[in-house]
Amino acid sequence: MAVSKGSKTYNIIVSSVYIVLGVLLCIAMINVNQILSIMIGVTLIVGGVALFALDIYKYKELLPITIMTSTFLLGFGIGILIAPFDFTYYLSMLILVGGALMIVEGIIWLIKHRNIFTTVGIIVIGAVAITFGICFLCIADFRQFCSLVLGIVLIFLGVINLIAALLSKPKK
């Protein structure tokens, strides 16, 4: 597959960041909350700056909605970087609610379509999600285990993407 030189460089940088984050998570130098705070904060700041830049590029001026949205993104991103909060609590609640909604969806699917195979699959995934949410919320060691698993997954993805980026052929 032919890729541009900029795309290849981007893939190499992203893969390297994945590997570094994975190693940091595996050796427990930083916890999941710190990584999520940094990632979300930086993403919001970059999004705010990009919104400003795109508006200036496209319209040659800043529209009021862009100013409000970009300022909100920048302020929220800086706020998360300065005073990070417990994302694992919100993540566990999101997983719990998602699991409960999947079980409700499975029951509705059963009533509406009478398809047992699909319904069982949806309900099992919902039950697993609820179990993960409860474990993530109540068991501190489970958070550490998830941090290790996330680190291993990030290292694996980083290595695979790095190999793919290095083996890809540049466009002519």
The predicted-structure confidence for 6-61, as pLDDT tens digits, reads as follows 677 778 888 888 888 788 777 765 666 777 777 778 888 888 888 787 777 777 77
Structure confidence by residue, pLDDT tens digits, 141-158: 777 777 777 778 888 888
| 119 contacts: CB under 8 Å, gap ≥ 6 | 106, 107, 109, 110, 113
Give the pLDDT band of residue 4 (cuts 50, 70, 90).
Answer: low
Q: Are strands 2-3 and 169-170 parallel, antiparallel or unpaired?
A: parallel
- The structure's pTM equals 0.52
Q: CB–CB of 18/158 below 8 Å?
A: yes
The residue extents of the domains of the chain are 2-170
Looking at residue 106, what is its pLDDT?
A: 84
Q: In percent, how much of the chain has pLDDT > 70?
A: 90
Looking at residue 53, what is its pLDDT?
A: 79
Amino acid at 110: L
Structure confidence by residue, pLDDT tens digits, 156-170: 888 888 888 888 776
Q: What is the rounded CA–CA span in Å between residue 170 and residue 22?
A: 28
DSSP letters, 81-141, are HHS---HHHHHHHHHHHHHHHHHHHHHHHHHHH--HHHHHHHHHHHHHHHHHHHHHHH-HH
Looking at residue 16, what is its pLDDT?
A: 85
Mean per-residue pLDDT, 121-141: 83
Query: Who has greater pLDDT, 127 or 145?
Result: 127
Average pLDDT, the chain: 79
